[in-house]
Every structure is written in structure tokens, then in C-alpha cells.
Structure 1
Amino acid sequence: MAMLPDVYRDIVEVVADAPGPVQAKQIVPRIGLPTTTGKIEGTRSRLKRLVERGWLEENTPGQFTLARRGPGRNRPNAQ
């Protein structure tokens, strides 16, 4: 996960620590951003990029979980 930029790493950590699927509006305050529409939409875009790159899954629209397989799960030191 060290290869991710800080904000992406923070997002993945929040999703990994969550007990279930999370939405962008739940992640924004946990990564230290104000809960404005712009910040929520920007975070949603980052979440979608993390899905495209295999770090997260979006099985239900707007609900994000850690990928069961992919960059964040198949590395020896992945948490």
C-alpha cells in the first residue's frame, strides 16, 4: 500500500477498518476533510479509481469494501 499517494492510502485504511461497506460521505470526515459536497464527490471519484485499480470493490452502488483480491490483498505484507 506504500505505493499509493497519502489520500488514497488513508481512504483504503478507513475502508479496511470499517465493519462493513462504507459510503464516500462516511469516509470524508474520517480522513480529515470537511463534509462539503465537493469533498464528498472528490472522495467518491477516488473510491471509483481504487475500484478500477483493484484495491476496493463496489458490489452495491455507492457502497465500498476492501477488495478480496487485487493490489491490496495479494501482496505478502498487505494488511
Structure 2
Amino acid sequence: MDTSVLPKIYRDIVEVVRAAPGPVRAKQVVPRIGLPAEVGKIEGIRGKLKRLVARGWLTEGDPGLFSPAHHETEMEPSSS
């Protein structure tokens, strides 16, 4: 599903997580979306990251480490 269905802040979060070379923490996402690295902002983004996990956009491997969800569609083999 295209991220255009998400509110802007959620789109920004998903884009940052997708662009990261590996799993990211909330405190790494906050400055990348232009917010000050304050405890309140970090906790707010952590909550949004958890909501994105619950809705299938992201995954949380180890606690607090977020990665993109891999929605791979299986293609049926073509009959030749």
C-alpha cells in the first residue's frame, strides 16, 4: 500500500525508517523528521512507531528497534 494514505507525520516516519540502513530507534527518527530531540517528542514518535507496527507498516524486532514491514506479493508461476 502506498504511504499517501497516511497523515504526513506518519508518512515521514515510514520514509525515514525505509531509508535507514538497518533498524532504528525513536530517538534516531525524531531529528530526521525535523523535531527537537526532547524526551516528549521521542515518546510521541515512539507511540506513532508502535501504531505503525500495529497497522502493518513497520515491524519491531527487538524492543524499540523498528524496521519496514516487507509486504512481498507472491507471484503465481506462469504456465508455459
Q: What is the TM-score of this pair, normalised by structure 2?
A: 0.86
Q: What SS does the corresponding residue of 2:66 show, helix, strand or coil? A: strand
RMSD: 1.0
> Following superposition of structure 1 onto structure 2, how do residues 31-70 of structure 1 map, counting pairs within 5 Å?
31-69=33-71
Question: Which consecutive segments of 4 or more residues in structure 1 shift more than 2 A?
Answer: none
Unaligned runs of 5+ in 2: 74-80
Unaligned runs of 5+ in 1: 75-79
Instruction: Supply the AA of the counterpart residue of 1:38.
Output: G
Residue identity over aligned pairs, in percent, reads 63
Shift in Å at residue 68 of structure 1? 1.0
Q: What is the TM-score of this pair, normalised by structure 1?
A: 0.87
Give the aligned length: 71
> Following superposition of structure 1 onto structure 2, how do residues 63-78 of structure 1 map, counting pairs within 5 Å?
63-69=65-71
**Larger Cα-atom Rg:** 2
